[in-house]
Amino acid sequence: MTLTAPVPAPVRPAPTRRPRRRGWSPYLLIAPTVVLIAAFLLYPIGSVFYYSLQNYNVTQPYDDGFAGLANFRHMFTADPLFWQSLRTTVIWVVAQVVLQLLLGLLLALIVNERFKARGFVRALVFSPWAVSGVLATGIWVLLYNPTTGAAHALSLMGIGSGDTAVLSQPTSAFIAVIVAELWRGVPFFAILILADLQSVPADLYEAANTDGAGRWQRFRYVTLPHLRGAIVLTCLLRAVWEFNNVDLIYTMTGGGPANETTTLPLYVARQALTDFNFGYGSALTVVSFLILLVFSVVFLRVTKYNAGRD
């Protein structure tokens, strides 16, 4: 059978995983992503820096113009709400990340065990992850409200007086917002930690068992070191996201009572949404960016994230 056309021999001598191909194809493929990110993420970030040096208030267009550092001077010297919101932000982020990490770790360890209907139970306890901030507010307002809430239901059963207006006291409002966000945020931590738990090599546990390690020792010397990388990165991502979390607080308390629950991003959002002071809002944004940047760098340094990698 000499009719067979000679098959062109593969150019590649040894099969390489990824072909080295030059040309336009990869650039065409990433072009939509690049254009969208450049136009709607990178350009806006750049313009925030520009606006922060301007007087730019939609309601007072006659004052618009170059302002130099006046916005920043006002922020640092004449705006107590900036400092207050900064403090609130720190408490908010620390509380959320620490509590979500502890509860998420526990939840992940629990649903990683074998038990009946595990898949269904996982879906159930993870489901608040899919709920939006506004919907979470709607649900928890029902629970917090003195006429419809849990306190009212308990008082019908004879427990408590039932007239607790949780959201109108500064301290209880802050705790209430934290609990509602935990409800939504713990599943995320649990999901990520669970993913990493499943990748712990089983022979490590066997080796630990052979050495006579107990449950706690297995957790302390096998599981925890394995999870370290994921925990560090999840904490960082979560800290940034909780820093930026506005939906839930904005709809639940609006930053009140008495601005006690106003975080820095919420303050920015109010500048944009209700005060229309784009210049000052942009200056607050720039400061927030810088805080996030410094925080991320310091966090990665302190936790020696790269050192833990192979």
Residues 8-47 that bind another protein (CB under 8 A): 10, 15, 17-22, 25-27, 29-30, 32-34, 36-37, 39-45, 47
* Residues 156-195, interacting with another protein (CB under 8 A): 156, 183, 188, 191-192, 194-195
Q: What is the DSSP letter of 274?
A: I
Asked if 95 interacts with another protein (CB under 8 A), we say: no
When the beta carbons of 125 and 208 are compared against another protein, the nearer one is 125
**Residue of 247, 255, 259, 262 interacting with another protein (CB under 8 A):** 247
Quick one: which segment of 65-73, 169-177, 201-209, 279-287 binds another protein (CB under 8 A)? 279-287
**Residue of 94, 98, 102, 134 interacting with another protein (CB under 8 A):** 134
When the beta carbons of 86 and 135 are compared against another protein, the nearer one is 135
Q: What is the DSSP letter of 54?
A: E
Q: What is the DSSP letter of 277?
A: B
* Residues 102-131, interacting with another protein (CB under 8 A): 103, 106-107, 110-111, 113, 115, 119, 121-131
174 Cβ contact partners less than 8 Å away, ≥ 6 residues apart:
88, 91, 260, 261
Identify whether 257 is preceded by a cis peptide bond (ω within 30 of 0).
yes
**Residue of 181, 185, 246, 259 interacting with another protein (CB under 8 A):** 246
Q: For another protein, what does the binding mask look like between residues 42 and 71, x meaning CB under 8 A?
A: xxxx-xx--x--------------------
When the beta carbons of 70 and 240 are compared against another protein, the nearer one is 240
Helices assigned H by DSSP within the chain: 25-37, 43-51, 70-78, 80-111, 118-126, 133-144, 150-156, 170-197, 202-210, 215-218, 224-243, 247-252, 264-270, 278-302
Crossing angle of helices 118-126/80-111, nearest 10°? 170
Tell which residue, 189, 187, 191, 184, has the closest CA to residue 248: 184
Q: Please count the residues of this chain forming the interface with another protein, following the rule CB under 8 A.
A: 99
Which H or E run contains 66?
strand 65-66
